[in-house]
Structure 1
Amino acid sequence: MHTSGTRTRPPGRLRKALGSVLLDTRPLRYPAYRRLWLSNIVTAVGAQFAAVAVPKQLYDITGSSAYVGLAGIFGLVPLLVFGLWGGAVADAVDRRKLLLASNTGLALTAVALWAVAAAGIGSVWLVLGLFAAQQTFFAINMPTRNAAIARLIPLDLLPSAQALGSTVFQLGSIAGPLLAGMLLPVLGLSTLYLVDAVALCAALWAVLRLPAMPPQAGAPQRAGLRAVLDGFRYLALHAVLLASFLLDIIAMVFGMPRALFPEMAERTFGDPPGGGFALGLLYAAIPAGAFLFGVLSGWLHRIRRHGAGVVVSVVLWGVAVIGFGLSDSLWLGLLFLALGGGADLVSMVYRSSILQAAATDEMRGRIQGVFTVVVAGGPRLADVLHGSTGAALGTSAAVAGGGALVVVCATAAALCLPAFWKYEAPTR
């Protein structure tokens, strides 16, 4: 008996050690959150098919990265308008009903993109218009989905839920581009859009099974301009939140080079003109690094200096982007992108934790709307910036220069905002 007991101790210590490092899965014990999380899994891969297909379709039609970058404007405007308004709506109506409506819109626009690609219609403006419509529904869906999380699990599990959701998203961002890169030359663009549409339709089942989430006491009666402005006034009273948004804007606007991936896949890394494996790898590398860091994110909750964690992560992201811009080897470039993805995951977890700790439920939708605008709008501004700069100066100079700006601006922000650098998570 003594011998048997001795043999069981190392595995017990190993499980304890792994539990302190691996992803915290406690939020999955709550059925409603689990359904929402499962719907994210279903949609993540399909959504990434469209993320690869739209830039590739635009580049195939025009042969110019500037037009690929133009998609950033068509994605940004709906995010700015409907992200803020959608957050206000999420505070004023049943969030389950709003999720159903916005998910349905996403599925319908995916069907329309499939129809255009299948018919061989070579209209840049039609593709951009449908992309803008899809981003409109996305801008409403995301703040609603994020605001719903706090109604489905205890508040102390919010950081773990953020890590779980981000890790699933990153997994889809890995599998989606990889599959897209392999299927694109074989099946064509229309099939990628079709898979996206089917996945979004399947996710509606999980949303249907969510509980009702009507507005609580103190929520706005109407989702008008006044409700949106109330959200900005709330943010104005929380300088730490504003600083976290600023750091993310710096990282994404200057440092996200995805608009140049189609051109770099062909001209730098040797893909054939019809598309190839390198394009999928480039899109998958950043989420791959984020996913690996997410799986091993169990230690993040032990660091209380969340402000410093954001600053350091953003600087490391900038350094990784510089390395990618200077790489002429595909595998070295992928390594730098993966390291950047890991740094971005850490930044996201701490920024989300700061946000969740400050917002009350009746304000959470509006704050998440601003968060959606910043998180999703930044990369779209980067598409415009990198697309035009890459066309004028070349891809290497555009990417490496953007990474250098991230390092300089993030360091300057930390020096000018010492309160954010010193910010610590609440003890409760």
Structure 2
Amino acid sequence: MNRLRRGLIDLRPLGASPDFRRLWAGGLVSGLAMQMSVVAVLYQVWEMTRSPVWVGTIGLVQAVPMIVLGLVGGAVADALDRRAVVVRTTALQSLVALALALQAVLDVGSLALVLGLVALQSGAGALGAPARRTFVSRLLPPRLLAAGIALHMIGFQAAMMVGPALGGLAIGALGVGACYALNAVGFLVSLWAVHRLPPMPPGFSATREGERRSPRLRLRPVLSSLVEGVRTTVRRPVLRGSFLTDLAATLLAFPVALFPMVNELRFGGDPTTLGLFLSALAVGGLLAGVWSGSVTRAARLGWIQLLAASVWGLALAGFGLAGPLWLALAMLALAGAADTTSVTTRAAMVQLDTDDRVLGRVASVEHVIAVAGPDLGNFRAGVVAGWTSPAVAATSGGVLCVLAVLVVALSHPQVARFRVGDEHRDARAG
């Protein structure tokens, strides 16, 4: 029984920190509302254009500001109070959601306006994302850090499972504008939770008199500040190896672009089946979150990430070869579970192995990798499938992922040897 309880998700962070508890609940509410808004944007753009090209453009207008402002956000997070940064960017996201609701209710009918507002909302979120990523390490002790990240992951997976369905119901009953309005409310809930947090200045530096200086924007160029964050990532073997492991998984084996082709060729193009593919990944991720206790309590997080990334590749290779629908869904669920485990361990190692002085900038590198990797991986999968077949694209990608992870493990032994211990309690104090 004790072993069973130990395997379940570790809920201690919710009891250890009221601030973390509010932050997690606010993130869950805003995540659900955001997933509803995703459906609303897809639906509205399709209704306006009836063009899959314009629907695909939504991803582009989101990705560009995410990458650019995500990097800038790292420098901002290491120069200003991080809570204040997130408060302001979340408030802007709420205002943009309200503007989306108004244009829908007024039936403005401007595609440029919708895409522009989506880009603005994406940029605001990206600007605050690096600062937000540092909150968990400030609110929880190192021994509960991985468990706190796992709780955020399970909230994200739950929002992905439930949010789109709620969005579809809301559009059918109340219209697109209602989804956008609910998104604005969700951001306000998140804003309240962040506003209740204590001030979170970046790593202080002591003056000659022993006093601490308040954080402020430095005079040196932002570009120089960003370079320091990238240099830190490259120089630290644990960070470099962990990020390379993530890129091996996403660049070489990300499968979502293959789903429509696999569905058409093997399962008759039934849209219900296509939805099951997406849900299977989320179900696997959610189950991994529920049973994440053994992972988050473990000391050897690096070894677990390498193993999880390998399982991700093997599962997607299996998806490429699977004949029956049940086997294809099982492989995707296994891949989703491995992905959640890999992301949880990577995020914990980033927090533990990074000096707080540059944590925001390193978090911005992590954010860009998390955003760009899947998009580029989908592009690779689509190109390979066009040249060969979706089965070859999925299987070859999975095998290449496993081989790449093996190369990372051999060239970066520090990742496998990484252990959570007392040395990390003050590792980020500067």
Report the TM-score range of the alignment, normalised by the length of the smaller protein.
0.7 to 0.9
Percentage of matched positions with identical amino acids: 36
**Superposed, which structure 2 residues align to 1:23-422 within 5 Å?**
23-29=9-15, 30-55=17-42, 61=49, 63-64=51-52, 70-115=57-102, 119=107, 121=109, 123=111, 126-180=113-167, 190-218=177-205, 221-222=217-218, 224-259=222-257, 261=259, 277-278=272-273, 280-301=275-296, 303-327=298-322, 330-386=325-381, 395-415=390-410, 417-420=411-414, 422=416
Counterpart-to-counterpart distance in 1, 2:51 and 2:385: 13
Q: Which amino acid aligns with 2:360?
A: G
Q: Is the 8 Å Cα contact of residues 76 and 381 (structure 1) preserved in structure 2?
A: no
Matching residue's letter, 1:234: T
Q: Displacement, 1:86? A: 0.7
C-alpha distance 411-122 of structure 1, shift in aligned 2 (>3 A)? farther
The alpha carbon displacement at 1:382 in A equals: 3.0
CA contact under 8 A between 1:256 and 1:379: conserved in structure 2? yes
Of 404, 419, 423 in structure 2, the residue corresponding to residue 425 of structure 1 is 419
Residue number in structure 1 paired with 2:6: 20
1:35 and 1:256 map into 2 onto residues whose CA distance is: 33
Cα RMSD (Å) of the superposition?
3.2
Residue identity opposite 2:241 in structure 1: A
Unaligned runs of 5+ in 2: 206-214, 423-430
Aligned-residue offset at 1:375:
1.4
**Cα distance between partner residues in 1 of 2:182 and 2:269:** 24
Question: 2 CA distance for matches of 1:382 and 1:68?
Answer: 19
Rounded to whole Å, the distance in 2 between the matches of 1:190 and 1:384 is: 32
Cα 1:264–1:74 change in 2 (3 A) is farther
Distance in 1 between the 2:325 and 2:173 partners?
22
Judge conservation of contact 2:238–2:412 (CA < 8 Å) in 1: no
Partner SS for 2:78: helix
Amino acid at match of 2:29: V
Moved more, 20-29 or 278-287: 278-287
**Paired position in structure 1 for 2:428:** none
Instruction: Tell me, yes or no, if the aligned pair for 2:321 and 2:391 is still in contact at 8 Å.
Output: yes
Cα distance change on mapping 1:400 and 1:182 into 2, 3 Å: farther
Q: Matches of 1:335 and 1:27 in 2, distance apart?
A: 31
Query: What's the TM-score, normalizing by structure 2?
Result: 0.82
1:356 alignment partner AA = Q
Secondary structure at the aligned position of 1:356 is classed as helix
Contact 1:68/1:259 (<8 A) preserved: no
Secondary structure at the aligned position of 2:285 is classed as helix
- State the TM-score, normalizing by the size of structure 1: 0.82
Letter in 2 for 1:348: V
Contact 2:300 2:420 in 1 (8 A): no
Distance 1:72 1:400, change over 3 A: farther
Q: For the residues of structure 1 that align with 2:158 and 2:114, how far apart are their CA atoms?
A: 27
Bigger shift: residues 333-342 or 211-220: 211-220
